[in-house]
Amino acid sequence: MFSKFLRRISVAVIGVIFLLGAFSGMSLCAKAQSPGTGELEVFQIEQVRAEMPQIQVYVRGVNANEACEAYLDGNALTSTGNQSLDENGTSYLIMLDISGSITSEYFLAAKKQVEELAQNLGPKDKITLITFGDTVKMQVSDSQNADEISKILALLQAKDKKTNLYRAFDQCLKYVEAESQKERQIVLVISDGIQDTGDAGITQEELETRLTQASMPVYAFCVDTADRQSRDGLGTFARTTGGELFVFGPQNAAQVWQKWKERLNQTVCLGFESTANYADGELHTLLLKETAGAQSDTRQIRITNWLVDDTAPEVISFRYDNEKNTIEIEFSEPVLGADKANAYRLKRNEKTQEIKGVVVKEKRCYQLVLPDDLPQGDYTLEMYGICDDSMEKNPLKESSLDFCKPFELRDAGWYILGGGILLLLFIVIFLWIKRKKNRVEQPVETQKVEYEIQHVVTEPKAVISSAGENSSSVKMLMELVSGAQAGRQIECTIYKSAIWGRSKEMCDVSFDDPRISKQHCVFEVRECGVVLSDLNSHNGTYVNGIKIPAEHLLHVGDTLQLGNIVLRVIQLAR
């Protein structure tokens, strides 16, 4: 009893496994079937048309809304979306066998289908007709004239003794290579096999390689009277190039050609773009695979065409980091030569220095490591030999960039001790004179804050007022970030505007600093906030290490430099 029970359990398990396997097989078959034909469709690249950096991939066995990924020599390509098959049209290169091995009944059926194809061409479609027998002749090239093609077909007869098939393929390939056509290219061969009785001096394997590298699929139409070996050989040849084999007879030629047309319409054109427009004439490997699926296909292609790139690369981001002693540069596109230290020179007062090194941050972003002993001052970064990654090697649009390294206490080196003593002595004398002056002079509403180089000598947080006290005002709290009084805060109340400079008579706020102009800059109160403008000073006004060319809207956290004075904005309040 127990053994019978086990046998029943085993039979049931086997039955369930069989049903699951059958269901899985049906699902896979349903996925692989071609819509409209009911036949299995394999994920396969039909052909690739490359005009760098643009690449079009014609593929079968994939839905139009199914995402795919493409890689050229392992480098990912950017998808530009699906493209219409009619956008560029199709070039049909028809090779018609006129040897006597094709009977008149089959020959007439084939000519009729070619004539019908010519009569139903799309707006951008065209036909090139090549006949092969004792000789190879191009009857018509790139024609859209159906009447012209019909007249040529009417004069053709299949009566030659030889079959120069390989020579016909050779002429077809040379014609395509010379024309450098951009549209989809379909080769149709109408014959009774792959046998060649001519003297082309080229083997079948060489033809397959050239057709594959040229990315030209061959669709073969073989008469059904051909022997099995000839038919299979022609089919293998067609599939190797990305095409297929179709067998026809006089009675079913129209149905077979309709099936071929449906096959062509099931092909999806996928657009991709490379980062460069290189066309070196060498072989490259294209990999296409489903993003969500497991299917993939590869194709060896020879890239010879490209689009001209006349756009020069630009610097779209330039940032000097004083703390890290680095410069970060971002270019508008991938460039060559920017990863080499000798491509950069630092120039100051007609003297040049080399940078320490370059770190590649991203594909278009580079970090320059500056020398450790770089003194403070204005610098120009000059760039040499940098160009875009293209066939044209367009040089960089800008060749130099300016920046300023602010003054730091450690830059003084061994002179800091002597300078500090002299500065301290000067401050003591200055405070004594000011104190004595304040005893005899009445205080005024508007006070002046005076600086010795890097030092504030007024009382802390003195209120600085300016003309137009009845208008809108902004209270600005600033902190010295350099010099002996680093960390000291200054509170300034600005009415309408306030001019800063070296002149005590011409400015609202004055500094005793020879690097500061008499009237150096002006702060203006506007609806948007406080706007800082340089007054054509000799040494310029800097915000966050960058020399301002015109107006600059101040924000909390900004660092200002006037001459040797460096301050940080802590608060801006109305």
544 backbone dihedrals φ, ψ, rounded to 5°: 55, 35
Strand 521-526 to 546-547 pairing = unpaired
Per the structure, the complete domain to which residue 228 belongs is given by: 90-266
| pLDDT at position 204 | 82
543, 522 in Cβ contact below 8 A?
Answer: no
| pLDDT at position 480 | 86
Residue 174: CB atoms within 10 Å: 11
> Residue 353 burial (CB < 10 Å; 0-12/13-18/19+)?
middle
Q: What is the CATH number of the domain that holds 377?
A: 2.60.40.1220
Question: Is residue 126 domain-shared with residue 238, that is, in the same domain?
Answer: yes
- Half-sphere exposure (CA, 13 Å, Cβ side) for 22? 6
Q: What is the CATH number of the domain that holds 81?
A: 2.60.40
Identify whether 227 is part of a domain. yes
Orientation of helix 253-265 relative to helix 104-119, angle to 10°: 40
Question: Is residue 185 domain-shared with residue 94, that is, in the same domain?
Answer: yes
Q: What is the CATH number of the domain that holds 522?
A: 2.60.200.20
d(CA 272, CA 535): 52
| pLDDT at position 27 | 41
Residue 557 Ramachandran class (φ > 0 left, ψ -120 to 50 alpha, else beta):
left
Identify whether 382 is part of a domain. yes
Question: Is residue 191 domain-shared with residue 283, that is, in the same domain?
Answer: no
Question: Is residue 328 domain-shared with residue 290, that is, in the same domain?
Answer: no
> Residue 290 burial (CB < 10 Å; 0-12/13-18/19+)?
middle
Identify whether 435 is part of a domain. no
Question: Is residue 532 domain-shared with residue 564, that is, in the same domain?
Answer: yes
d(CA 280, CA 334): 18
Q: What is the CATH number of the domain that holds 231?
A: 3.40.50.410
Residue with tokens 């003194």: 375
d(CA 485, CA 479): 9
Question: Is residue 59 domain-shared with residue 103, that is, in the same domain?
Answer: no
Cα 115 to the chain's mean position, in Å? 45
CA separation, residue 291 to residues 294, 455, 513 (Å): 8, 65, 66
Quote the number of domains for the chain. Answer: 4
d(CA 404, CA 377): 6
Q: Which of 387, 405, 423 is the last residue of a domain?
A: 405
d(CA 371, CA 327): 11
Please give the torsion angle defined by the CA atoms of residues 26, 28, 32 and 37, in that order, rounded to the nearest 10 degrees: 0
Question: Is residue 355 domain-shared with residue 380, that is, in the same domain?
Answer: yes
Identify whether 12 is part of a domain. no
d(CA 159, CA 107): 10
Query: How confident is the prediction along the chain (574 residues), in pLDDT tens digits per residue?
Result: 445 544 555 545 555 444 444 444 444 333 433 333 334 467 888 889 888 999 999 998 887 778 899 999 999 999 998 888 888 889 999 999 999 999 999 999 999 999 999 999 999 999 999 999 999 999 999 999 999 999 999 999 999 998 898 898 888 888 887 766 678 889 999 999 887 776 767 888 888 888 888 888 999 999 999 999 989 989 988 988 888 999 999 999 999 999 999 988 888 999 999 988 888 888 899 999 988 878 899 988 888 889 999 899 999 999 999 888 999 999 999 999 999 999 999 998 888 888 999 999 877 899 999 998 888 889 999 999 999 989 999 999 878 888 888 866 555 555 566 677 888 888 888 887 777 655 544 333 333 444 443 333 333 333 344 444 444 788 989 898 877 778 888 888 888 889 999 988 888 888 888 999 999 999 999 988 999 999 999 999 999 999 998 889 999 999 999 988 899 999 988 8
Q: Which of 357, 374, 405 is the last residue of a domain?
A: 405
Q: Is 321 helix (H, G, I), strand (E, B) or coil?
A: strand
| pLDDT at position 266 | 86
- Write out pLDDT tens, residues 482-535: 777 788 888 888 888 899 999 888 888 888 889 999 999 999 999 889 999 999
CA separation, residue 183 to residues 180, 195, 544 (Å): 9, 30, 54
Question: Is residue 129 domain-shared with residue 260, that is, in the same domain?
Answer: yes
Q: Which contacts qualify for 556-561: CB closer than 8 Å, 24 or more apart?
A: 559/406, 559/481, 560/478, 560/532, 561/404, 561/406, 561/407
Question: Is residue 262 domain-shared with residue 244, that is, in the same domain?
Answer: yes
DSSP 8-state secondary structure symbol assigned to residue 361? -
CA separation, residue 335 to residues 72, 316, 340, 397, 512 (Å): 19, 13, 12, 12, 47
Identify whether 189 is part of a domain. yes
| pLDDT at position 492 | 83
Identify whether 443 is part of a domain. no
d(CA 411, CA 422): 17
Question: Is residue 194 domain-shared with residue 94, that is, in the same domain?
Answer: yes
pTM, 2 dp: 0.58
30 backbone dihedrals φ, ψ, rounded to 5°: -65, -40
Identify whether 252 is part of a domain. yes
| pLDDT at position 516 | 92
Question: Is residue 49 domain-shared with residue 94, that is, in the same domain?
Answer: no
Residue 323: CB atoms within 10 Å: 5
- Write out pLDDT tens, residues 186-201: 999 999 988 777 676 7
Question: Is residue 261 domain-shared with residue 377, that is, in the same domain?
Answer: no
| pLDDT at position 12 | 53
Identify whether 425 is part of a domain. no
516, 502 in Cβ contact below 8 A?
Answer: yes
d(CA 468, CA 472): 9
| pLDDT at position 485 | 79
**What value does the CA radius of gyration of the chain take, rounded to a whole number of Å?**
40
- Write out pLDDT tens, residues 4-59: 544 555 545 555 444 444 444 444 333 433 333 334 467 888 889 888 999 999 99
